[in-house]
């Protein structure tokens, strides 16, 4: 498993080359260009302890998962990557690998709902304390850190659904000064648009369910780690807890990664056209997109992202009922949760993805709509929004 492979030599190659080749060399026996789905739980040993390529049992390692993990590490410029059954499984494993009861973490005050629930209802009862902070404000993050006790500063950028932008480089400096690690949930940007490890982050988290998989056909998660000491802890916990990606799921995500670059470019092209349309629409009171100059995070996003992504949020003058009606009337945009697939999705965060934070500081405006702009023909997307808003 550890021999120098063709994939290793491609570490320096361009993003799309790594996406297509890293993690797997054509099978020496058959020449298969694509890794098989190794549907096996165990491996024949050549004499006791005589493992072939280090494979012993598929919770510990499976060749299809190894291929995915190699590709993810290459795309995020990390030392090692680990694939999990879901984004939340990856997060839970990371927290238990790096923290112990009594430790403290800083989390985004608008964290992904499932992440917030994990901290509030699972990790806190276990003994991990957390403080929510506005991650777009470096001073607020600094103020939330408890030096000596804070193990992790956790950041999402851009955030969901208001697309706030955190300055990864600046927050890495603040976290490291206090002896904490910086973890970045890079799900919204994907490794194509943003590579947090090269900006100073220590660990990248992905829900590979979203852009990495990209086809809304798999639930998965990943951690990519910069240093070997952290990698060892994460690897130990991945095997000990066992929330690993199965071989078919790993295969689907790996297949998705091959087209990540061209998909993201089309997501961004289409999102930019949709933003321009919504900006001019009389029913729309505000368009939220980091690519807009008036977006408060525009300057930071321009520095740390290649482009601004496929998620667009907007608000309506006429209020909540109009927002609900617009979601219901869309036909090319599918009304549904999740994001990052080739198909366009529309949703009402207040009643759907963010219903659980109603009445709290995390409440989102009732007239807000979130789009995950897909890669369909953009004229069809704009025509659909036009009729839905009419
Ligand atoms: C979906 C999502 C998660 C959780 O991932 P699952 O694969 O659903 O467990 C975490 N963070 C962000 C930003 C997400 O969008």
CATH (domain of 171): 3.40.640.10
The chain-wide mean pLDDT, for the chain, equals 95
Measured distance CA(232)–CA(327) in Å, rounded: 46
Confirm whether 185 is a catalytic residue.
yes
Q: Do 83 and 211 sit in the same domain of this protein?
A: yes
Measured distance CA(379)–CA(382) in Å, rounded: 5
Q: Do 17 and 82 sit in the same domain of this protein?
A: yes
Q: Do 39 and 60 sit in the same domain of this protein?
A: yes
The last residue of a domain, from among 210, 229, 257:
257
The last residue of a domain, from among 217, 238, 257:
257
Flag whether pLDDT at 5 surpasses 60.
Answer: no
What is the whole-number distance in angstroms between the Cα of residue 179 and the centre of ligand 1?
27
The last residue of a domain, from among 257, 277, 300:
257
Flag whether pLDDT at 155 surpasses 60.
Answer: yes
Calculate mean pLDDT across residues 362-386. Answer: 96
Q: Do 227 and 337 sit in the same domain of this protein?
A: no
Calculate mean pLDDT across residues 361-374. Answer: 92
Q: Do 268 and 325 sit in the same domain of this protein?
A: yes
Ligand 1 pocket: which of 84, 86, 87 to mutate (most atoms within 8 A of CB): 87
Lowest mean pLDDT among 47-51, 98-102, 125-129, 295-299: 47-51
Flag whether pLDDT at 173 surpasses 60.
Answer: yes
Measured distance CA(375)–CA(362) in Å, rounded: 30
Non-local CB neighbours of 221 within 8 Å, separated by 6+ positions: 83, 84, 85, 86, 87, 88, 89, 90, 91, 205, 206, 207, 208, 209, 245
Q: pLDDT, tens digit, for every residue of 179-238?
A: 999 999 999 999 999 999 999 999 999 999 999 999 999 999 999 999 999 999 999 999
Calculate mean pLDDT across residues 61-68. Answer: 98
pLDDT of residue 8: 56
Q: Do 283 and 251 sit in the same domain of this protein?
A: no
Ligand 1 pocket: which of 203, 207, 250 to mutate (most atoms within 8 A of CB): 207
Identify the burial level of 25 via C-beta atoms within 10 angstroms of its C-beta, where 0-12 means exposed, 13-18 middle and 19 or more buried.
middle
Flag whether pLDDT at 46 surpasses 80.
Answer: yes
Flag whether pLDDT at 71 surpasses 90.
Answer: yes
Query: What DSSP letter does each residue of 75-94 carry, written as one string?
Result: HTT-SEEEEESSHHHHHHHH
CATH (domain of 332): 3.90.1150.10
Residue 143 domain boundaries: 3-257
Calculate mean pLDDT across residues 300-328. Answer: 98
Which of 344, 348, 358, 312 has the alpha carbon at shortest distance from 327? 348
Q: Which of 92, 103, 167, 185 is catalytic?
A: 185
Q: Which of 151, 210, 266, 370 is catalytic?
A: 210
pLDDT of residue 10: 62
Flag whether pLDDT at 1 surpasses 60.
Answer: no
Q: Does residue 226 have a cis peptide bond before it, meaning omega lies within 30 degrees of 0?
A: no
* Structural domain count of the chain: 2
Residue owning the nearest CA to atom 5 of ligand 1 = 87
Calculate mean pLDDT across residues 158-177. Answer: 97
Ligand 1 atom closest to Cα of 340?
15
Confirm whether 59 is a catalytic residue.
yes
pLDDT of residue 359: 82
Measured distance CA(139)–CA(390) in Å, rounded: 43
């Amino acid at each position: 498993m550890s021999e120098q492979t063709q994939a290793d030599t491609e570490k320096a190659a361009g993003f799309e080359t790594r996406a297509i080749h890293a993690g797997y060399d054509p099978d020496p026996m058959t020449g298969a260009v694509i890794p098989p789905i190794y549907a096996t739980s165990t491996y024949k040993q050549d004499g006791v302890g005589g493992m072939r390529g280090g494979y012993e049992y598929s919770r510990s390692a499976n060749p299809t998962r190894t291929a995915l993990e190699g590709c993810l590490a290459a795309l995020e410029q990390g030392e090692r990557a680990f694939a999990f059954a879901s984004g939340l499984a990856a997060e839970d494993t990371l927290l238990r690998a790096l923290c112990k009861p009594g430790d403290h973490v800083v989390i985004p005050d608008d964290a992904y709902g499932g992440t917030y629930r994990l901290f509030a209802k699972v990790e806190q009862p276990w003994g991990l304390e957390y403080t929510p902070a506005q991650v777009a404000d470096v001073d607020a993050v600094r103020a939330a850190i408890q030096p000596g006790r804070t193990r992790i500063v956790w950041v999402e950028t851009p955030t969901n659904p208001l697309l706030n932008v955190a300055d990864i480089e600046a927050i890495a400096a603040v976290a490291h000064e206090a002896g904490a690690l910086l973890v970045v949930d890079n799900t919204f940007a994907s490794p194509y648009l943003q590579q947090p490890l090269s900006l100073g982050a220590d660990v990248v988290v992905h829900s590979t369910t979203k852009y990495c998989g990209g086809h809304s056909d798999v639930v998965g998660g990943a951690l990519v780690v910069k240093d070997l000491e952290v990698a060892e802890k994460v690897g130990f916990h991945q095997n000990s807890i066992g929330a690993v990606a199965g071989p078919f799921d790993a295969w689907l995500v790996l297949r998705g990664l091959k087209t990540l670059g061209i998909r993201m470019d089309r997501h961004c092209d289409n999102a930019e056209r949709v933003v321009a349309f919504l900006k001019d629409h009389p029913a729309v009171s505000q368009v939220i997109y980091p690519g807009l100059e008036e977006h408060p995070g525009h300057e930071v996003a321009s520095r740390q992202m290649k482009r601004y992504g496929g998620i667009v949020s907007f608000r309506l003058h006429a209020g909540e009922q109009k927002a609900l009606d617009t979601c219901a009337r869309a036909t090319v945009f599918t009304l549904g949760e999740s994001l990052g697939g080739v198909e366009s999705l529309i949703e009402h965060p207040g009643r759907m993805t963010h219903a659980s934070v109603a009445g709290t500081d995390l409440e989102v405006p009732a007239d807000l709509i979130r789009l995950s702009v897909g890669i369909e023909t953009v004229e069809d997307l704009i025509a659909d929004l036009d009729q839905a808003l009419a």
